[in-house]
């Protein structure tokens, strides 16, 4: 049997194939590490006021440190790391990326200049976003195709818990050091001591990964390490599926990014709310929708596959896209309660579609192309979702007459991109391949 034929035959589920039950150990270890990574990546935002006061930073510099350092990994490193995921030992690569975010966290603790702080935050972003790509690829080969919704669900739960921990655990740790009433931990101030503590915690979360081996790659159409022209040929053959799938999820990211950035100003301007009034319930919404969306998306993906319909895996994404359209009208709510429910629904739908999109890439795309596709998606979604959507809202409000029209502009943009998302997911569902190694 030729290598290609052997790879193709391995795509068929047989009793000896990996299963979620047998792989719960490595997947849980990867999920725990992802949680540590997202905690490290987002930790600085929680203590940035203390860093600003100590280092004499301006809001403009903080914006540079927080924004550009996060955007650079998305745009410049997502695709190269995705290619490495398709070609290298993913478990070793994951550990290397985990060490990258850990080094970035340690550098943050000791940074005395803005460039050093910027590099520290950038390393945290590179390591975390790159490791997420590797984690999705690993989870796909640690369980059978019909279980991948639940496999990716565990990775997404790690991400959601890490994002929540960046507020809760980091805030608690910082408070503990402040209550000591003195610089602690090798002479470091509280916010620096907090990052040093995160460094040690991250190393502890990485340690279990050293005991797991690289899983066999399943559903390979060409071969691992195939020439780039072959990968591009495979991508082109699946363009009728991948282009609308990307368009669907990128527009979802646009709606979610715009909501995340402009929800607070709308609450202040139109509802008379102050940050201390809405910080608690906004944080709870992000945590609950992150966990709930991951669970619903994972289950919906696996149930959709069992229907046997072409593109059935994407049924949940289509339903979520439908619900997101009225939810995008949250800025025009008559009360903060309605605002919270609608905003929560929008974010929940975005989490569901994001997870289902990730599962679709692991089920419908051959193994040697998955990392590249995931990396490309992360780069495009980051560039368009975070780079264009917020400015699009301000452009619309300006056309409507000024900043006083922010709420209606946010609603219009949210509804418009949500409608595009629905149409794109429907097209992707109709054009979905029957199998990872069959482009049509």
Q: Do domains 18-217 and 229-430 have the same CATH topology?
A: yes
Cα separation, 438 vs 440, whole angstroms: 6
pLDDT per residue as tens, the chain (440 positions): 333 433 333 333 333 467 788 889 999 999 999 999 999 998 887 788 788 889 998 877 876 787 677 777 777 888 899 889 988 899 999 999 999 999 999 999 999 999 999 999 999 989 998 999 999 889 888 988 888 888 888 898 898 888 888 877 888 888 888 887 545 556 788 899 999 999 999 999 999 999 998 998 876 665 666 677 787 888 888 899 999 999 999 999 889 888 877 887 888 888 887 755 776 787 788 788 888 998 999 899 989 988 888 899 999 999 999 999 999 999 999 999 999 999 999 999 999 999 999 889 888 888 888 888 888 888 888 778 766 787 788 889 889 988 788 899 999 999 999 999 999 999 999 999 987 666 65
Q: Which CATH number fits domain 18-217: 1.20.1250.20, 1.10.1060.10, 3.40.50.1100, 2.60.40.10?
A: 1.20.1250.20
Task: Give, in degrees to the nearest 5, the angle at Cα 386 between 380 and 392.
Answer: 110
Domain ranges of the chain: 18-217, 229-430
Give the pTM.
Answer: 0.74
228: CB partners within 8 A, 6+ apart = none
In the structure encoding, which two tokens stand for residue 73, read together?
């990994």
Q: Which fold has domain 229-430?
A: Growth Hormone; Chain: A; (1.20.1250)
Cα separation, 122 vs 145, whole angstroms: 34
Per-residue CA distances from 194 to 107, 184, 203, 427 (Å): 12, 10, 14, 47
353: CB partners within 8 A, 6+ apart = 248, 249, 252, 297, 316, 317, 320, 321, 324, 421, 425
Positive or negative: CA dihedral 434, 376, 228, 83:
negative
Contact, 128 vs 205, CB < 8 A?
no
Cα separation, 352 vs 303, whole angstroms: 14
Strand partners, 435: 438
């Amino acid at each position: 049997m030729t290598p290609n034929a052997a790879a193709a035959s391995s795509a068929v589920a047989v009793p000896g194939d990996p299963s979620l039950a047998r792989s719960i150990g490595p997947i849980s270890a990867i999920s725990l590490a992802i949680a540590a990574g997202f905690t490290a990546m987002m930790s600085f935002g929680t203590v940035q006021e203390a860093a600003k006061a100590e280092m004499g930073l301006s809001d403009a510099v903080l914006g540079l440190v927080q924004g550009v350092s996060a955007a650079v990994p998305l745009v410049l490193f997502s695709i190269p790391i995705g290619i490495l995921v398709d070609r290298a030992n993913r478990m070793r690569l994951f550990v290397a990326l985990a060490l990258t975010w850990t080094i970035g966290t340690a550098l943050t603790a000791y940074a005395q200049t803005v460039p050093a702080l910027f590099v520290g935050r950038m390393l945290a972003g590179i390591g975390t976003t790159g490791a997420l790509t590797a984690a999705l690829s690993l989870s796909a080969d640690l369980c059978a195709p019909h279980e991948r919704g639940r496999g990716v669900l565990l990775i997404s739960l790690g991400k959601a818990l890490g994002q929540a921990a960046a507020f809760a655990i980091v805030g608690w740790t910082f408070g503990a050091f402040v209550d000591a009433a003195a610089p602690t931990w090798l002479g470091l101030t509280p916010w620096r001591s907090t990052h040093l503590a995160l460094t040690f915690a991250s190393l502890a979360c990485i340690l279990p990964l050293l005991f797991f081996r690289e899983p066999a790659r399943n559903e390979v159409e060409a071969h691992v390490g195939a020439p780039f022209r072959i990968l591009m040929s495979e991508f082109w053959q699946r363009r009728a599926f991948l282009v609308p799938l990307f368009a669907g999820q990128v527009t979802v990211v646009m709606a979610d990014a715009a909501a995340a950035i402009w929800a607070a100003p709308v609450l202040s301007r139109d509802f008379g709310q102050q940050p201390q009034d809405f910080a608690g319930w906004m944080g709870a919404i992000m945590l609950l929708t992150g966990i709930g969306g991951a669970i619903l998306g994972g289950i919906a993906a696996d149930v959709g596959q069992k229907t046997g319909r072409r593109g059935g895996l994407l049924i949940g994404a289509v339903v979520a896209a439908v619900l997101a359209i009225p939810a995008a009208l949250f800025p025009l709510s008559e009360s903060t309660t309605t605002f919270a429910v609608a905003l929560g629904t929008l974010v929940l739908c975005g989490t569901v579609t994001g997870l289902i999109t990730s599962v679709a890439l692991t089920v419908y795309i051959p193994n040697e192309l998955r990392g590249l596709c995931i990396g490309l998606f992360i780069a495009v979604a980051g560039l368009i979702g975070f780079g264009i959507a917020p400015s699009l809202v301000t452009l619309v409000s300006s056309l409507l007459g000024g900043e006083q029209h922010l709420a209606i502009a946010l609603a219009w943009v949210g509804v418009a991109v949500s409608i595009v998302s629905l149409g794109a997911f429907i097209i992707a569902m109709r054009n979905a391949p029957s199998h990872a190694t069959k482009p049509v």
